[in-house]
Amino acid sequence: MTADASTRVAFLPSLGRYPNDFATLMTSVASAGFEPVPVTFTTNGVRTLHDLAGQAAAALGNAGPPAHVVGHALGNRIARCLAADYPELVRSVTLLAAGGRVPPDDEAAVALLNCFDTSLSGGDHLAAVATAFFAPGNDAAVWADGWDGVLAEVQAAAVRATSVDDWWTAGGTAPVLVIQGLDDRVAPPGNGRDLVEQIGERARLVELADAGHALLPEQPAAIAAALLEFLSRC
């Protein structure tokens, strides 16, 4: 497959994190003939999710044939906002750990905040990462690092400043794949089920056992297989 704008795949990372979280998945995508486009978000001029969607649009050149978009956790909210604001840029949308309606449980919500608490000991920080992001028994040490608290604070404020209705259904007509971890406590599985039901025929749901909110380091082979099968049909 020859890479062009229609075979680009943009990768939008989670809250306060960077696109190297997608390293394994980007390798799989590149091996299949697609061109990975890692998107790094900044705090510059960010007030709402629409501003973050604008940064993703800029990474795609703001014009040209549409590209595939993959968003993880917060990145999936930005992906949906991108599809709503710039439908001409989006060929398909893949959402990993899609949340926004069904809230996290209280313990997981506190743990998510603690992932960005630099005052915690290494052990307490890793315990917070495990609680918020990983299914029981999975190794959270792979995400011990890579937490940008300043970026996370700005992004979280942007989420609060934006109506869920602006982005929830990933507007436009692009096909949507939702990949949800059955052990996700931050974005419980009900989010994916509700979203696919509301979107209707253009959406497909894949649920993965033994996967929490992190998903990417927990089930890399299953995610790559589902994504590549989806891309082959878009």
Q: Residue 199: name the closest of 230, 172, 218 by CA.
A: 172
What does each C-alpha distance from 74 to 18, 79, 189, 214 come to in angstroms?
11, 9, 15, 11
Q: Which amino acid is it at 182? A: L
Q: Which residues of 91-104 are buried (b: 16+ CB within 10 A; e: fewer)?
A: bbbbbbbbbbeeeb
How far is residue 98's CA from residue 184's CA, in Å, rounded to a whole number? 10
Structural domains present in the chain: 5-233 (3.40.50.1820)
Residue 220 contacts by C-beta under 8 Å, 6 or more apart in sequence?
Answer: 24, 25, 28
With residue 171 as reference, give the H or E element that holds it: none
Average pLDDT over residues 26-45: 97
Whether the CB-CB separation of 183 and 208 falls below 8 Å is answered with no
For 159-207, how does the pLDDT look when each residue is reduced to its tens digit (9 = 90+)? Answer: 999 999 999 999 878 999 999 999 999 999 999 999 999 999 999 999 9
Whether the CB-CB separation of 180 and 192 falls below 8 Å is answered with yes
Calculate the average pLDDT of the chain. Answer: 95
For 129-170, how does the pLDDT look when each residue is reduced to its tens digit (9 = 90+)? Answer: 999 999 999 999 999 999 999 999 999 999 999 999 999 999
For 63-105, how does the pLDDT look when each residue is reduced to its tens digit (9 = 90+)? Answer: 778 999 999 999 999 999 999 999 999 999 999 999 989 999 9
Judged on CB neighbours under 10 Å (0-12, 13-18, 19+), 200 is exposed
Q: DSSP secondary-structure letter at 118?
A: T
Q: Residue 95: name the closest of 112, 120, 78 by CA.
A: 78
* Phi/psi of residue 205, nearest 5 degrees: -115, 130
Residue 123 contacts by C-beta under 8 Å, 6 or more apart in sequence?
Answer: none
Residue 3: band (very low, low, confident or very high) from pLDDT cuts 50, 70, 90: very low
How far is residue 224's CA from residue 212's CA, in Å, rounded to a whole number? 16
How far is residue 146's CA from residue 142's CA, in Å, rounded to a whole number? 10
Angle at 162 between CA 53 and CA 77, to 5 degrees: 45
The predicted model scores a pTM of 0.95
